[in-house]
Chains A and B, each alone.
Chain A
Amino acid sequence: MNLPKLKINISCLKALFTQKTFYTSLTSKNLICLILSLIAMGTLSGCKPVQKITHNAITYCSESSPAFFNPQLDTSSTTADASAHQIYDRLLEFNPENGKIEPGLASSWLVSNDGLIYTFQLRRNVKFHKTDYFTPNRNFNADDVIFSINRWRLPSHPFHNVNGGSYPYFASLNLSETIKEVKRINGYRIEISLFKPDSSFLANLATDFSVILSAEYADYLLEKGQPSKLDVQPIGTGPYKFVYYQQNQYIRYERHAEYFLPIKGSEHLIFDITTKSSLRMAKLITGECDAVAFPSQNDLAVIADREDLTLLEKPGLNIGFWAFNTSKAPFNNPKVRRALSLAVDKTSILDAIYLGQAIRAKNIVPSASWAYQTNTKELGYNPVRARELLDEAGVPYNFTMDIWAMPVQRAYNPNAAKMAELIQQYLKDVGITANIVSYDWAIFRENLTAGMHDSVLIGWNADNGDPDNFYRPLLTCDAIPSGTNRAMWCNRDYDKIIIQALSTDNFEQRKALYHQANTLLFQEMPIMPIAHAYQYQAVRSNIQGLDINSFGGIRFDDVVKTP
């Protein structure tokens, strides 16, 4: 509101109220002036620019509510973002720059020559969170590691069935069958022995899901008869401790003052749960958010243009794909799956949905991975051949199928609903009617795991740099019940190749095996690979230290806000 106008308003108001005869003196000029004044009063209080009370707090606008505060129980990146690097630590960590494995809660480790025994030396003087609901009496030690691993590994463990008892990441890799024993050598030394060598084992211990919980807290909860609180009111060793969570609204964290590493992060951390990407963007502009999850592709140019916003960008270790439910007819026929893939022009999807912010996917690993195959074969766009294949497979004209479109944005699929519409058009050309189906994210994944879909547009974000992290959880038989194998595809030959690739440390050998798997996938086409997307994160320009974590959840331990 500019000042001169306000002065006029005030003077005319004065004139208004000093009149002896109140309403008789009302002229149209006076009346307009009164209304103007009232409007001015209404808006005046909002004239100051947006200010934050404290620069010691970071507000991150996340895209959805986490299922739990424990990533062991859920592979969704929302859950990992909310807990993995805020509340917890792992035995090992990935270096965010190069993906190499570094010490976490384990200060050093030793692998036996046969690759079967792993010994970890644990860090001393690591303190668990002290909160309103729990005060730890001891530091982190070997018992916590044993508790955290045995919880998902042993069905007889008192906490195994708490909060659903499903550990999708570990189940998809069949890790509980790989580990023979977790043994305490002394308070700060632990030995894990395996049944068979697993070249991705260390990488798996460094993923978001291998968090270390507090055994003391678990005992305390068991005594109180509230074991389910373990994953809802979490206690960990991480840089932030949990304060409060209001579903669908916000999560509040506070810095863990006794964290074992020096960190620069702010005193308070808030996740403001904002499901609509347009609203997240708006809140970023007004300064209500300091950083936002998954900026929409349409907004990227706007963010890059504005001086007060910064766009972070990184080629992602991810894959967006169209999975066919191979447990259902006619999708159990590879011919039908190949036909559907042939019917769709990927180039237009890349242009229209990813707006060119992605690389065309030929097989399931992106070029950033060492297992990437340059000379891989790919099905092109050929609707005539598609129709021929459909006829051969006996799929009639006007066959109706469902395309499930994931309801949330992910880097690997920024707009599944729009993508589904595009595919719908292409399928029409080959005589297939497609219905688009969508549910709330939690229900969506539940129904997918139950295999209720015909086909689904979804994807996968890698949790570690190992190619096994794509091949195994996405398409092996063990990954069906755990709900990461969206194609419900079980092929013994494929499983054999993938398991063989794990038993060796020789890169060239593994590479050759993965190329073999690619050929098999090309023939069987359980999923149609679409794109490897760039990952984006939008932050306000006064935020420093926030990087895109290619290997999982977002981390705030070194994020600072300058005034």
Chain B
Amino acid sequence: MERDDLIEYSLHAHHDEEKGKKIRKKIMQVTVLLTLVTVVEVALGAYIKQSSSIWPIIKWSFIIMTLLKAGYIVMVFMHLGDEKKWLRNVVLVPYFLFMLYLIFIALWEAVAVGEAWTTYGGA
């Protein structure tokens, strides 16, 4: 028996050819952007030495570019940008909170452990 109290959300995703054209244009723009960012990353990585004085800036720019690429992949390719605001939050907020905590605690502990090895030696 067909149930009329259920909403088939899967059907809402359909769009016509005109909207499809717009979406494909956006996909191509994002493709070009992701490729360009990758090219810049590789060029910086290959030509600027880690011993260089501007390396810290380069390192942070890698991290920013990575987050930018990740943002476009998640929001456009994975369509999270088109989902309901609270679905977006449920996916992203707990993850970011946990990861920030984990990164903080891991780097903090790494320094402590590294110093302990340096001070007391390892055999």
Same complex origin of A and B:
no
Instruction: Give me the interface of A with B, judged by CB distance under 8 Å.
Output: none
